[in-house]
A = this chain, B = another copy of it.
């Protein structure tokens, strides 16, 4: 699903929409600027994102559902209403324990 990126000051709906199913994988870039990229993801239960790393720091916020997040040699559980940040370059992976809605923020500045 291609959407125009939000401009500075423009409101974006990130919460679960009425009638929206989280049982299909999706990944939408809400905004991308010089310093930030904002990505909204729906991840169905059982779906895993294999280990990877990004250069910049990230924050990962769980809006709905539950994911198991692997980083720094341990697994942490991230539930709706919770957030974590991760230092740049740290390998990480996740698996959805339930149909989940996630907001990923990536710092692009070097």
Contact = CB atoms under 8 A, between A and B. Distances in A.
A28 interface: no
Interface in A14-62: 14-16, 30-31, 33-36, 38, 56-57, 59, 61
Number of this chain's copies in the complex: 2
Contacts of A98: none
Nearest to A10: B84
Interface of A: 6, 8-16, 30-31, 33-36, 38, 56-57, 59, 61, 63, 69, 71-72, 74, 76-78, 80-88, 90, 92, 103, 105, 107, 109-110
Considering the complex of A and B, which 5 residue pairs feature the smallest CB-CB distances, nearest first?
A: A15-B81, A109-B109, A8-B87, A35-B57, A9-B71
